[in-house]
Chains A and B, each alone.
Chain A
């Protein structure tokens, strides 16, 4: 007996809309099973995981802060994935962006200028884009698999940050802790509203989502992205260059990941540390797919995945389970999203017997 996936002749429009919600539902059901088998009350566990963070104003701000990098990165990744460029290294671009943006506040500590913050953001975007240009160059020139190169560069970036923070950029007044100087006030990303902690990173995320949504939907560039993603040959016929698109997609997503990096460091942390991301660059991959590679869908998906981060923290405190549950929920969600999408396009068929069809010709 074997299992075959058969392409469906017509795929249901209804279910392609419903699929993310079905995936969410299945994740919750899997969560119930998980909590029950851990001997916890599933209702209160799910409540503290998914509902409680939404009941307080301060935790809504936390939600926006966590969602900001996810949305920014995922919006950039959607351009990559739609154009058939598999950038898995946003985490590295996030880190390098954050480091490039931190050069001014750390190395030129004490520079008082209103230009400080805008220059930091620009440096971060350039840094992230430059780091993404490496796998892009390797793919366009040497036909290297970008999944591998971009992923491997993540570890390089993580170790580079670790070394920099422990070594050359360590705070001279920091009692030997592996941290940089605290950013001066003019290097801190301001809050959007005075009463809450949400900083402008969330604003950048929303703006980026809107702009890219418009580009994808209405402009020739957006058209070019989808054409090259679906058929490189047809793209060449249209006069589009698939090589240039590799650079375009990687540079855009690298720049947005870099912007997310500096926003996180300057808006939420206030200094560089050996670890500045709880895996935002990887979680953003889930966000991009859960949002169906649509920038507006990604805003919603980013908020949902941010909730799993908050819920994980809350669940540690209120029901005493490990924060690994966060990763577990994220993994389950990705699994169910991809599973639902596959079943929309294909039906499962069990084949009994060993008849080998069509291959013996």
Chain B
């Protein structure tokens, strides 16, 4: 009992609740973080992790419940107050000005008037101390994603916080960059600072965290020492049930080449887009080629040229089922038997305000004109046939929805994604190109989507999956390629590919660039 005082948690929440409309995003959350520990906050997308930390950081007001700091109740009304209390935060999506230097970006986030030279000096010192090499005078636009994250970390360290919150910090990092980050976290811990580490990656959590709190549907479903758990027991807490095992067995011998990309280059369309350079890729019937890579290395640009939303000048650069397709639009490519699933669900793959039936027509109006349209040039939409097909898709993919034909935006991310993937699968595409098939999708829906992709390949289609999720890539791919700064490595069989090798390729060490190749070999 005497120890009570010293054992008081650094931060504690009691019954913390946040209600958005009818949704209880956080429902009576009890969480306690001890001084000097790395505490994991685990949960699927939409479990309420981000809402919880936004309340801790003063971005959102709690609807009910309270926060205790070192045993005393506090209200955190703004990020400024959070920083003054001793809480720092590194967001998943960086808020940096590309045109400014590192030091200037740091200065912008500081409260009060500190001369920029002092900030530079301090930032340089901190970055050395914590193994986060940074040049304060560099422009943010020239920095890699990992370096940008370091700015955010240094920025929060400047406030000398006792608790640092990191929101999905490794989602944008290569495995090697992630290792560096973990070393920094260990240093912070050794100094007695606490870290709240938000992630859905079980391996990382097991590797670096002392304790874990698991959230599901806004509620705490478990608190544990992750090292005492197995990945599957953690996953059970996160998902609330067994996740269906994916069976990749049975992908037979690949058949004829269905989609072939040769020497494809495309200039960048805007200063923030990536130029594609000399892309070669061919995918045969019955195989899944996965394209791994860190976000923002040309994935969406590659998707756009494969789908035909952006045409390329050289018609022969893309051949689909033997036909030159480079100058074809997306509709013509669909008529050749292609299906496409873009990354962004809202406003790209689907029109949020429109019902599911309308969103079915969106991608299939011409490829299925025989069933969905009538009246010849009038182009009348057969609402009956469309409704029937929408129902069939929802049943096949187990899409949970409210009402018969709700607006696409009212579905949860996972259910909408199942519908969007199902919409293409329903017509048995010969070639399917998918960008981030399970991004932000709960584990149950993700395994269903992955299984569906494998089944499609088994039935003799060619599938291209662009994904940042390495677990997913290894789970489903027959061959794996890596995209980095708009260049694609040549695909290698999944059976011989390793995570280390992917990590090197992600960092830009391509075959053929002599020294890099040597390093890649060395890494094996």
Contacts and interface: CB of A to CB of B under 8 A. Distances in A.
Bound together: yes
B508 interface: no
Contact of A237 (B57, B79, B109, B362): B362
Nearest to A237: B348
Contact of A231 (B77, B348, B363): B348
Given A230-B353, A239-B366, A220 B334 contact: no
Interface string B342-362: 101001111111100010011
A219 B378 contact: yes
A227 B362 contact: yes
B365 A220 contact: yes
Contact of B79 (A231, A236, A361): A361
Interface in B359-410: 361-363, 365-366, 373, 375, 378-381
A234 interface: yes
A238 B363 contact: yes
B373 A238 contact: no
B78 A237 contact: no
A239 B22 CA distance: 37
A361 B375 CA distance: 55
Contacts, number: 87
A223 B358 contact: yes
A360 B362 contact: no
A234 B349 contact: yes
Given A10-B21, A219-B378, A236 B350 contact: no
A358 B59 contact: yes
Given A231-B347, A360-B79, A360-B80, A237 B330 contact: yes
Contacts of A226: 354
A191 B91 CA distance: 70
B419 interface: no
B329 interface: yes
A357 B331 contact: no
With most chain A CB atoms within 10 A of its CB, the pick from B334, B340, B379 is: B379
Nearest to A234: B351
Interface in B245-300: none
B515 interface: no
A324 interface: no
Interface in A235-261: 236-239
A308 to B, nearest CB: 32
Interface string A198-241: 00000000000000000000111101001100110110111100
A239 B347 contact: no
B353 A219 contact: no
A173 interface: no
Given A236-B309, A237-B309, A357-B78, A9 B20 contact: yes
B91 A361 contact: yes
A234 B95 contact: no
A3 to B, nearest CB: 18
A353 B77 CA distance: 11
Contact of B78 (A219, A231, A236, A356): A356
A355 interface: yes
Given A9-B21, A361-B89, A234 B348 contact: yes
Contact of A9 (B22, B347, B361): B22
Interface string B11-38: 0000000001110000000000000000
Contacts of A356: 78, 80
Nearest to B348: A233
With most chain B CB atoms within 10 A of its CB, the pick from A223, A226, A234, A356 is: A234
A233 B334 CA distance: 17
A81 to B, nearest CB: 15
A356 B80 CA distance: 9
Given A218-B380, A223-B381, A360 B366 contact: no
Interface residues of B, number: 44
Contacts of A239: 329-331, 334, 365-366
A360 to B, nearest CB: 4
A360 B109 contact: yes
Contact of B362 (A9, A10, A234, A357): A234
Contacts of B21: 9-10
B362 A361 contact: no
B487 to A, nearest CB: 25
A355 B350 CA distance: 36
A99 to B, nearest CB: 33
B77 to A, nearest CB: 5
B354 A227 contact: yes
Interface in B37-90: 57-60, 77-80, 89
A208 B462 CA distance: 48
Contact of B347 (A220, A233, A361): A233
A218 B374 CA distance: 11
Nearest to A354: B78
Nearest to B21: A9
A218 B352 CA distance: 20
Contacts of A219: 375, 378-381
Contacts of A234: 347-351, 362
B349 A218 contact: no
B353 to A, nearest CB: 6
B57 to A, nearest CB: 8
Nearest to A229: B351
Contacts of B80: 356, 360
A79 to B, nearest CB: 16
B365 A223 contact: yes
Nearest to A360: B79
Contacts of A238: 330, 362-363, 365
Interface in B315-345: 329-331, 334, 340, 342, 344
Contacts of B309: 236-237
Interface in A315-361: 355-358, 360-361
Given A231-B347, A233-B347, A221 B379 contact: yes
Interface in A4-19: 9-10
A236 B362 CA distance: 10
Interface in B82-133: 89, 91, 95, 109
Given A220-B365, A223-B365, A237-B342, A361 B59 contact: yes
B381 A230 contact: no
B339 to A, nearest CB: 12
Contact of B351 (A218, A221, A231): A231
Contact of A355 (B78, B91, B109, B375): B78
Nearest to B329: A239
A207 B331 CA distance: 33
A10 B78 CA distance: 28
A361 B95 contact: yes
B320 to A, nearest CB: 15
Contacts of B362: 227, 234, 237-238
B244 to A, nearest CB: 30
Contacts of A236: 309, 330
B78 A230 contact: no
Nearest to B77: A355
B451 to A, nearest CB: 25
B59 A357 contact: yes
B379 A220 contact: yes
Given A231-B351, A355-B78, A358-B59, 5 more contacts: A223-B358, A237-B309, A238-B330, A238-B363, A361-B79
27 contacts: A9-B20, A218-B381, A219-B379, A219-B380, A219-B381, A220-B365, A220-B379, A223-B358, A227-B354, A230-B347, A231-B348, A234-B347, A234-B350, A236-B330, A237-B309, A237-B348, A237-B362, A238-B330, A238-B365, A239-B329, A239-B330, A239-B365, A357-B58, A357-B60, A357-B78, A358-B79, A361-B79
Interface of A: 9-10, 218-221, 223, 226-227, 230-231, 233-234, 236-239, 355-358, 360-361
- Ranked nearest first, the 9 interchain pairs of A and B with the lowest CB-CB distance are A9-B21, A239-B331, A220-B379, A231-B347, A360-B79, A238-B362, A233-B348, A239-B330, A234-B351
